[in-house]
Amino acid sequence: MRALIVEDDPALAADLVAAFREAGFAVDGAADGEEAAHMGATAAYDVAILDIGLPGRDGVAVLSAWRAAGAALPVLALTARDAWADKARAFRAGADDYVTKPFFMPEVILRARSLIRRAAGHASAGIVAGALAHDPELGVFTLDAAPLRLTAFEARVLGYMIHHAGRVLSRTEISEHVYEDGVDRDFGSLEVVIRRLRGKIGAHRIETLRGRGYRLLAL
Ligand code: CA
């Protein structure tokens, strides 16, 4: 999963980026509204954490720009305590949830994961695809209830695939959701990860559709 963090306070932005990376996300950061408006409208993010109090083009204007550009990504707004007007404006502009500052970092990550899960159409906290299950909160994957040992990158790829099990995912789509901005998106290394995942979860669970991509099957 890939997250966009928009926060102009450098220390808080660094904390958010570090915490989301630690939680397994590919993370891009933006410190001003112009940059954020462009990134959220043009790149593929699974969630955005958006500070409403940005200098210049504020978070609500950024969010309005995303929605006007057709970007449907889930958005968790960061607002000042008691700033009811900001919260109302954020929701009207298309925010999905908010937390007030100062916040407890695990809560931000919990809410972000919940938004991602709901956006992918999963109502329960755990995501199941046949014998394969994933608990996003704990970051755990199991096969027939036995924990799988995955590298961070394998977990990121499988996490995206299990959220979208049954759907054909092109290599481009998967790449967009597992690599950070500025990282060379190498289909070769993605193929290597898919091969390793097949070895760990059973080759028959990841179907290759020639010229179209991969599909995780709920078997
Ligand atoms: Ca701010």
Report how far ligand 1's centroid is from the alpha carbon of 71 (Å): 22
Q: Ligand 1 centre from 205 Cα, in Å?
A: 45
Residue 6 near residue 54 (C-beta atoms within 8 A): yes
C-alpha of residue 127 to centroid of ligand 1, in Å: 34
- Nearest to 7, CA basis, from 19, 202, 93, 24: 19
Say how many Å lie between the CA of residue 52 and the centre of ligand 1.
7
* pLDDT of res. 81: 82
Q: How many CB atoms lie within 10 A of CB 47?
A: 26
Measured in Å, residue 53 CA sits from the centre of ligand 1 at 4
Cα of 201 vs centre of ligand 1, distance in Å, is: 43
Distance 125 CA to ligand 1 centre (A): 31
Distance 191 CA to ligand 1 centre (A): 40
User: What is the pLDDT, as a whole number, of residue 214?
Assistant: 98
The whole-number pLDDT of residue 56 equals 85
Distance 26 CA to ligand 1 centre (A): 22
H or E stretch covering 140: strand 140-143
**Centroid of ligand 1 to alpha carbon of 216 (angstroms):** 40
Give every residue of the chain whose pLDDT is below 50, as ranges.
none
| pLDDT, position 18 | 98
Q: How far is the CA of 54 from the centre of ligand 1 (A)?
A: 5
Q: How far, in Å, from the CA of 214 to the mean position of ligand 1? A: 40
Q: Which contiguous run of DSSP H or E holds residue 165?
A: none
Strands (E), 25-114: 26-30, 47-51, 75-80, 97-101
CA of 7 to the centre of ligand 1 (A): 6
Instruction: Give the residue among 43, 28, 95 at the shortest CA–CA distance from 64.
Output: 95
φ/ψ of 135, rounded to 5, equals -110, 100
Q: What global pTM score does this model have?
A: 0.95
Q: Is there a contact between 173 and 129 (Cβ–Cβ < 8 Å)?
A: no
What does the pLDDT read at residue 17? 98
Q: What is the pLDDT of residue 22?
A: 95
The Cα–Cα gap between 66 and 80 comes to 22
Q: How far is the CA of 167 from the centre of ligand 1 (A)?
A: 38
DSSP 8-class letter at 141: E
pLDDT recorded at residue 27: 98
Question: Please, are residues 165 and 179 in contact by the beta-carbon 8 Å criterion?
Answer: no
Euclidean distance between CA atoms 90 and 87, whole angstroms: 5
**Distance separating alpha carbons of residues 165 and 112, to the nearest angstrom:** 20
What's residue 20's pLDDT?
Answer: 98
> Residue 150: what pLDDT?
97
Spatial distance between the Cα atoms of 39 and 31, rounded to a whole number of angstroms:
11
